[in-house]
Amino acid sequence: MISPARSWREFPQRYRLEAARCEGCEKVLYPPRVVCPDCGGCTFETTPLPREGKVVTFTVVRVPPAGYTEQSPLPIALVELTNGVKVMMQVGDLADPEELEIGMPVRLEFRRVAWDGEAGLIFYGHKAVKG
Amino acid sequence: MRDVAVVGIGMIDFGELWEKSLRTMWAEAALAALTDAGVDSVDMVTIGCMSPGLFAGQEHLASLLADELGMAGVPAARVESACASGGLALRMAFAEVAGGLSDTVLVTGVEKMTDVDGADATFALGTAADQEWEGFHGITFPGLYAMLAQVHMQRHGTTSEQLAAVAVKNHANGLLNPHAQYHLKVSVEDVLASTMVADPLHLLDCSPVTDGAAALVITTVERARELGSERPMVKITGSGLATDTMALANRNDLSQLDGVRLAAERAYAMAGRKPEELHVVEVHDCFTIAEIMTTEAIGLFDPGFGASAVDKGLTSLHGKIPVNPSGGLKSKGHPVGATGVAQVAEIATQLWGEAGQRQVEGATIGLAQNMGGSGGSSTVHILEVAS
């Protein structure tokens, strides 16, 4: 599973949806990187991601990996946010996973994403819910 | 660059080989290739293997395997590019021979996948995706290809029946391949009735977990002539290697595989060939949707026409351009590091005219495409009978 140090390192992106805006070309990177893949710039300012978007593609994972088996069937979508940034995330609150479709509007909500048994770490992040 | 020829191949029967270790499988395939080529020493050994550490608790394969064959001392390197590790092993060996560093190279691929349980195998394969920004959410490899399939279906009208038709074709071909893991005839109905793994992909849309090894011997054309084989001389005329973004989130168009397209363009440019000149093709059908998308990416069909091509029988064994006559990953099995090498072994076998019941008649130009992750890396090799 994920180490405490790694989990802590990812808090700004998982908890606060912090992205990086390239000072050279304005491209927004999520997660942040050392180098802008578009212009090669190396200076960024922190910016939060918007919390609305739409489903670009999706699946329902019927055979999830270890640590996620209790959540089966697990709907996961690639969501394009209103600023054009695409983010992969679980989809929550669906009465029936068959409701998922390309183009579905969603909003992002802070949720528990995974957990490492009864005594291990709990991993929080954002899920998409019908918007 | 020097011309490079394939002078020997070695395959073991793929499957759940509980009685065989990684090193045993590898040595059997390597020895078979050396015997087939009629050589007893090589200048270099390359080994494609994705994750011996996670699958078998063993790293440092260069030393382990050179030693196993009684070749300790020989230059050897294990290379890794997820499921494209085998193709990369050939690419590195091709560069050795073409560039003049080595004359004769033993190219190998191996993966021992069944010494771990299903959950550990899923985890090991999952390391080929972006663990922090994809894996964190619980996505699996079938899940990532399912996401690509959803886009292809929406954009081009590709159907679940068309995906199933890929499995039907490849299992039919696999029935004719003695090395295949599954000798199993399946119907469209069988595929659609199998367990849903990640919508829209059913269990029979997915390649299996497999133990296996494959090997080639490649050398200069001069050395190949000295070996005096009665087979037609088969040369590697094109080698393409490319990457794409790791995470699907960073791709501009999820209906196509740009890394595969780039690798193919580079291989065609080197060989001076076009897709319509090919006679036989092996592509990386880790999932049925992957065969459809790769045949489009290497230019056999226009974007969106890969699925209807299967329907029309164009890619069947006796179709216009046979794809995966070996049975593909789907039926032959997918020991990930071995796959790229086994694909080239199949193309060489076809060009030598030694493919038996699955022979593509008159084939003199073939292509093998191998792919890592969700298309994040790809190799393409073009082989031809020398005129």
Domain boundaries along the sequence of chain B? 4-117+209-227, 137-207+234-385
Task: Give the per-residue pLDDT at A123.
Answer: 96
Task: Give the per-residue pLDDT at B6.
Answer: 98
Compute the nearest-CA separation of B386 from chain A (Å): 42
Residue B146: its chain A contacts at CB < 8 A? 59
Question: Which residues lie closer than 8 Å to B99 by C-beta, 6 or more apart?
Answer: B1, B2
Rounded Cα distance between B345 and B352, Å, is: 10
Residue A49: its chain B contacts at CB < 8 A? none
pLDDT tens digits, A67-115: 899 999 999 999 999 999 999 999 999 999 999 999 999 999 999 999 9
Question: Which residues lie closer than 8 Å to B119 by C-beta, 6 or more apart?
Answer: A65, A66
Question: Which residues lie closer than 8 Å to B267 by C-beta, 6 or more apart?
Answer: B238, B239, B240, B367, B380, B381, B382
What is the DSSP secondary-structure string of B173-186?
Answer: HHTT-TT-S-----
Which of B139, B132, B143, B248 has its CA nearest to residue A14? Answer: B132
Q: To probe the interface with A, which of B117, B139, B255 has the most A CB atoms within 10 Å?
A: B139
Rounded Cα distance between A87 and A107, Å, is: 12
Among chain B residues, CA nearest to A79: B249
Compute the nearest-CA separation of B134 from chain A (Å): 6
Residue B196: its chain A contacts at CB < 8 A? 60, 62
Residues forming a β-bridge with B105: B44, B218
Residue B199: its chain A contacts at CB < 8 A? 59-60, 62, 97
Rounded Cα distance between A55 and A105, Å, is: 7
The answer to whether the CB of A75 falls within 8 A of the CB of A55 is no
Residue B234, H or E segment: strand B234-243
Compute the nearest-CA separation of B127 from chain A (Å): 12
Question: B137-207+234-385: same fold as B4-117+209-227?
Answer: yes
- If phi > 0 it is left, if psi is from -120 to 50 it is alpha, else beta; for residue B304 that is left
* Residue B207 amino acid letter: S
Task: Record the tokens describing residue B28, joined without a space.
Answer: 């059997």
The architecture in CATH of the region B4-117+209-227 reads 3-Layer(aba) Sandwich (3.40)
Q: Strand runs (DSSP E) across chain B, as ranges? A: 4-11, 44-48, 76-79, 104-111, 196-198, 201-202, 212-220, 234-243, 280-282, 365-372, 377-385
Which residue reads 């090997």 in tokens? Answer: B215
- Taking all residues of chain B, what is their mean pLDDT, rounded to a whole number? 98
In percent, the amount of chain B with pLDDT more than 90 equals 100
What is the DSSP secondary-structure string of B102-138?
Answer: -SEEEEEEEE--TTS-HHHHHHHHHTTS-TTTTGGGT
Collapsing DSSP to helix, strand or coil, A79 comes out as strand
What is the DSSP secondary-structure string of A17-61?
Answer: -EEEEETTT--EESS--SS-TTT----EEEEEPPSEEEEEEEEEE
pLDDT band per the 50, 70, 90 thresholds, residue A118? confident
Q: Do B122 and A125 touch (CB under 8 A)?
A: no
Which residue reads 């490899």 in tokens? Answer: B141
End-to-end CA distance of chain B: 19
Count CB-CB contacts under 10 A for residue B192: 16
pLDDT band per the 50, 70, 90 thresholds, residue A117? confident
The partner residue sitting opposite A62, judged by closest CB among B119, B136, B196, is B196
Which mean pLDDT values do the consecutive 10-residue runs of chain B (387 residues) have?
A: 98 98 98 98 98 98 98 98 98 98 98 96 96 96 98 98 98 98 98 98 98 98 96 98 98 98 98 98 98 98 98 97 98 98 98 98 98 98 96
Task: Give the per-residue pLDDT at B181.
Answer: 98
- By annotation, the residues of B acting in catalysis are 83, 334
The answer to whether the CB of B108 falls within 8 A of the CB of B214 is yes
* Residue B1 amino acid letter: M
Q: Do A76 and B119 touch (CB under 8 A)?
A: no
Task: Give the per-residue pLDDT at B27.
Answer: 98
The partner residue sitting opposite A61, judged by closest CB among B143, B150, B248, is B143
The partner residue sitting opposite B249, judged by closest CB among A66, A74, A78, is A78
pLDDT band per the 50, 70, 90 thresholds, residue A63? very high
The partner residue sitting opposite B137, judged by closest CB among A66, A97, A113, is A113
Rounded Cα distance between A86 and B251, Å, is: 9
pLDDT tens digits, B337-373: 999 999 999 999 999 999 999 999 999 999 999 999 9
Among chain A residues, CA nearest to B255: A57
Rounded Cα distance between B63 and B289, Å, is: 38
Task: Give the per-residue pLDDT at B206.
Answer: 98
Task: Give the per-residue pLDDT at B387.
Answer: 81
Specify whether domain B137-207+234-385 bears CATH 3.40.47.10: yes
